[in-house]
Structure 1
């Protein structure tokens, strides 16, 4: 959306390139698969451990007369401050048949070496997961299984998330239990230790045989082990050199060659360190492993994207068999006023096609049947007239580019919005520009921002849009269509009436084949509306740009929730913003996020905050990104676990692409 309107006469300067932003890290990152047993044995004072072979499988026996096997948590979670909130333990063990007391397979002890922060143990034919919940209360969740005392080798996965623990026996029987209290998400790692086959004391030591104990960070290990190969469960031959011959995990950079995946290498694992991604050979190809919902880890700088001039909007879209594209709405002078369509390759976006535009504000991609369209809202460079021509382009397969399809006379058009209702295709255009109005009493003319915005309907026989409905708007900058609870809505962001920026924006509802105003919401220079859905609830975020009364860009933007019973939006949260031009909603796994495009605070770089939805707490800030003044954010998901955030620079040519790393 445009950051410079006729109502506010501001000249923007091009700022000096700032220092690249530093990544904002989550509190725990690191390799996903760790050999906890190997690390504990290598750090032990005991030189030789008792190794026994039972049923062709080798295991370690831990005598109570020897020092317990342990490892400092910071040794293998070196980049962590707190314990990860999602993880798995992988055990291969054979338990004795005659034990009646609790025996610990592993335990995680606090700095006092007494407090058990977490443990996996069994007692008779019961298996338990002990932990400290988020209220610092000791909790225990157990399941009963005859497999514990049957005298056979078993492979066990204990997978833990914030609210649930799963026990998986031999990649078959799975039992899930809801945690009595949520797992503590702020367990400090400083001076904590893991103990293997004990809880440090002689009492409670594991008296059976243990073949392996692995720890998986940020992932349910079930898909890693049970959906790939039995090779992972092969015999563990440990040496003090740290060699682990049970499916070694090879650590490589993201761009490194990892070799051919074949039947001989089936089950091999590769960990890509930069993207924090684990891949397994499935016999013919490498596949990324993602067990359970992924979580946002941290954001890092990826690259700059240089455009012809400052950018007001990015529009991402895919063309079948052609790839991923992004259209930039550019504002400059002369030839630099033209806008560019970029295409994604393995290194980023590269220019694909230039299109002649006239102070472009917004791009909208849509599809009708087999045809692909791009609509460009042009504000117009002629300050003497608000009128300009906005254009709908159509993809030409023969020319392999977009060509003009239809022109619209517009009044400083700000945005297009496409949608379908009952099988019919519509295109709405938001007009901002001034209209000359004659005073009846004096005969003098004046300029007003009361303007008609239009809804167009697609006519299949004419292959063109025709006017379907007019909407009375005032300095309208954005139109947002959405469906909620079986009804169709269109919301209009009105930003300025010629005298004040505190005016009503309007929510329209589709009734009897037209849009009818059902709610007026007071906004402050509203520039963008973002509808999104979390669970079964519908929300509308308003980006408020400027308070004309206070002459200030520091304005609260607002999040509303749609009340199904009342049929109206109710305010649920104010969020401080600075010259907000855009809201972008996106998800990572099951988590919901929003980020506002902040454009004004007098600096060359501005903090843009990512907020995460946390239920009763509403949206809470979780990451701060220092980028060029931003007019638009777009979330880019190119598949295979690669996600990016793209920020449009409203004051310069260098736009920012940031990479989202997940775990």
Structure 2
């Protein structure tokens, strides 16, 4: 018995770790490892690397003379052991040139130098991206290649690739699009030794196959798929996990001796004279406005101030009292190239008016028969210009139609193009997904039934008409808003009333597999409008809550005074979260606009429970404080706001649902 007890004690001691034993550690930190930064020291003085700027974005090019200068030992990042992680992601942001057929270029290689053996590599050809790794068993060693079809890289634009590896599963995501998954017969080895190995960036240690494009990001993320951390992204082609510090600096005056440290090239010029066009061809070019002594940079399609006196909103003054045919439910401001600026008023009575901006004011231009018009929507398809009206009431025959009008370049007027059957329509939204054009109508009610379908219509290029494409269940739908986040398309509806209560959920839909599918729901109170806007990289949604009512509760005056809500997109959680509550008085509309570098929201307050004479408020963005009230604007039954710009300045126009008078306000800046 004593021998048995002794054996148990020995086994217990062997199975119990000593106090000084080291816990298990991964071979490297489970954080993004910026491989590109390892060969680009902050103090510069690295030959073989040249900094360039393309499309206003910095990147690096490598020289063919000495590939070893862009390499480093694997032990620098594999500090705890000598094995490459079994699960990992490689993130690359690059701009590749057009390659001749059958040519391959390496983005990354990991070599066992003594044997000159490729342990791991990433290379691309004109049509494919290849991931290579060394496989071994008792029979010997061989190289495994997993290839992804990727012809879209050869378009001379920036792209971000995410290669995720987990045993036998290999996934490639390009620009936060749909991933391409491959299940390989050979799994990535769980014990790939990197002892004595060396990373080579942009080559395979030799000049043949040297990467000739521009690279901005090259990151190894051990232990996980990086896609959820990067996607969705507002700029998916430049989605960023980690880039070298030198590439983060804004263009302009170099820090210290940066020009000496990194040979720097940029395709740019400065244009003098009057404002030139800002298109893709002028991207990253400068324009100097001698009259205003300002320097501007062409970014996207807008001239962005680089060196100029900051424009700030000082005050708002009335510019024009616009007498309308009747009470106005909505205003749509739009431009027709070569013709001018217009405003379409959705008037409650039999005719709605279109106004043209002439000599600094809106003047009547065209009248169109409507039936309790609620809103107008301007949109284009190719060279065709359309204007759709949402009619709330029936026509003389008792039929409910909303109508699409088309601009006639010959008559210089809008002419009837297509009638679409609707049910107490409140709003139209026009948008484009994957090159196809759509319209969605907010059907408010059919008779006394508010729980009806709203309809998405698709443009048929053959018939040149809109055709029903998808029905979406809504409850007293009041407004639709379309927006995109990276490659993803969204559509959000403002549901107002379900027949018994205004406390209903409004829904956000995402476009997947050719249709809109529910993505998120928000509890709203008589929601009348959604406004989407961006501030920097941040994305916001603001809802206008108009009324808190339930048939089981007695109506109270203060049920019109309630909070409207601003939500912000949380990229990590992939959901919108509440950002700020703003007290409003039966809010019916939000409008976002900018003046100089400042951002604003104006709310259409319509009723406080006692009177329609209620101040509408302009709020200014103040960073961590959110939006703060800065201007009170006296309004009467305010229904809709629109912001617009002319060569003479910036303006706001609001419509009144309680009097035949709309007002144009000028934003005075200093």
Bin for the TM-score computed over the shorter chain: 0.5 to 0.7
2:578 is matched with 571
The structural deviation recorded for 1:347 is 3.1
2:57 is matched with none
The structural deviation recorded for 1:383 is 12
Matched pairs, number: 374
1:421 is matched with 433
1:454 is matched with 455
The structural deviation recorded for 1:648 is 0.4
The structural deviation recorded for 1:176 is 10
1:466 is matched with 467
The structural deviation recorded for 1:486 is 2.4
2:533 is matched with 532
The answer to whether the 8 A contact 1:628-1:656 is kept is: no
The answer to whether the 8 A contact 2:388-2:404 is kept is: yes
The structural deviation recorded for 1:382 is 7.6
Q: Distance in 2 between matches of 1:268 and 1:516?
A: 52
The answer to whether the 8 A contact 1:278-1:289 is kept is: no
* 1:616–1:374 CA distance, 2 compared to 1 (3 A): same
Structure 1 position 323 matched with structure 2 position 340: yes
2:375 is matched with 362
1:307 is matched with 324
The answer to whether the 8 A contact 1:627-1:656 is kept is: no
The answer to whether the 8 A contact 1:524-1:547 is kept is: yes
2:404 is matched with 392
Q: Distance in 2 between matches of 1:481 and 1:378?
A: 21
1:606 is matched with 614
Q: Deviations over 1:448-500 (max 9, x none)?
A: 21111011010111110001111011100001100013210000100001100
The answer to whether the 8 A contact 2:426-2:441 is kept is: yes
Q: Distance in 2 between matches of 1:376 and 1:413?
A: 9
Measured on the aligned residues, the alpha-carbon RMSD in Å equals: 2.8
* 1:289–1:570 CA distance, 2 compared to 1 (3 A): closer
Q: Distance in 2 between matches of 1:469 and 1:557?
A: 30
The structural deviation recorded for 1:639 is 2.5
The answer to whether the 8 A contact 1:528-1:581 is kept is: yes
Q: Deviations over 1:537-585 (max 9, x none)?
A: 1111000011114542112111001111222111111111111110001
The structural deviation recorded for 1:289 is 13
The answer to whether the 8 A contact 2:606-2:613 is kept is: no
1:59 is matched with none
Q: Within 5 A, what are the aligned runs for 1:40-79?
A: none
Q: Distance in 2 between matches of 1:543 and 1:610?
A: 14
Q: Within 5 A, what are the aligned runs for 1:574-653?
A: 574-601=581-608, 602-603=610-611, 605-640=613-648, 642-653=649-660
The answer to whether the 8 A contact 1:413-1:431 is kept is: yes
* 1:507–1:268 CA distance, 2 compared to 1 (3 A): closer
* 1:554–1:268 CA distance, 2 compared to 1 (3 A): closer
Partner-residue secondary structure (3-state), 1:321 = coil
Q: Deviations over 1:390-416 (max 9, x none)?
A: 000000112110001000111000100
* 1:661–1:600 CA distance, 2 compared to 1 (3 A): same
Q: 4+ residue runs of structure 1 moved beyond 6 angstroms?
A: 173-177, 382-385
Partner-residue secondary structure (3-state), 2:422 = strand
Partner-residue secondary structure (3-state), 1:616 = helix
Q: Distance in 1 between matches of 2:254 and 2:313?
A: 27
Q: Distance in 1 between matches of 2:575 and 2:425?
A: 28
Q: Distance in 2 between matches of 1:516 and 1:319?
A: 34
The answer to whether the 8 A contact 1:302-1:658 is kept is: yes
The gaps in structure 1 that reach 5 residues or longer are 1-172, 178-225, 229-266, 270-276, 280-287, 436-446
Q: Deviations over 1:366-405 (max 9, x none)?
A: 00011100000000058997x6110000001121100010
Q: Distance in 2 between matches of 1:578 and 1:533?
A: 25
2:214 is matched with none
Q: Deviations over 1:39-97 (max 9, x none)?
A: xxxxxxxxxxxxxxxxxxxxxxxxxxxxxxxxxxxxxxxxxxxxxxxxxxxxxxxxxxx
The answer to whether the 8 A contact 1:579-1:599 is kept is: yes
1:142 is matched with none
Q: Deviations over 1:148-193 (max 9, x none)?
A: xxxxxxxxxxxxxxxxxxxxxxxxx98999xxxxxxxxxxxxxxxx
The answer to whether the 8 A contact 1:368-1:425 is kept is: yes
* 1:402–1:617 CA distance, 2 compared to 1 (3 A): same
* 1:268–1:575 CA distance, 2 compared to 1 (3 A): closer
* 1:604–1:470 CA distance, 2 compared to 1 (3 A): closer
Q: Distance in 1 between matches of 2:357 and 2:331?
A: 13
* 1:268–1:318 CA distance, 2 compared to 1 (3 A): closer
Q: Distance in 1 between matches of 2:611 and 2:663?
A: 16
Structure 1 position 378 matched with structure 2 position 395: no
1:351 is matched with 364
The answer to whether the 8 A contact 2:394-2:401 is kept is: no
Q: Distance in 2 between matches of 1:625 and 1:581?
A: 15
Partner-residue secondary structure (3-state), 2:418 = strand
1:548 is matched with 549
TM-score by length of 1: 0.54
Structure 1 position 291 matched with structure 2 position 298: no
Partner-residue secondary structure (3-state), 1:326 = strand
Q: Distance in 2 between matches of 1:473 and 1:483?
A: 21
Partner-residue secondary structure (3-state), 1:411 = coil
Q: Distance in 1 between matches of 2:641 and 2:503?
A: 25
The answer to whether the 8 A contact 2:449-2:499 is kept is: yes
* 1:176–1:302 CA distance, 2 compared to 1 (3 A): farther
Partner-residue secondary structure (3-state), 2:308 = coil
Q: Distance in 2 between matches of 1:268 and 1:434?
A: 60
TM-score by length of 2: 0.53
* 1:591–1:472 CA distance, 2 compared to 1 (3 A): same
* 1:422–1:289 CA distance, 2 compared to 1 (3 A): closer
The answer to whether the 8 A contact 1:454-1:471 is kept is: yes
Q: Distance in 2 between matches of 1:559 and 1:607?
A: 20
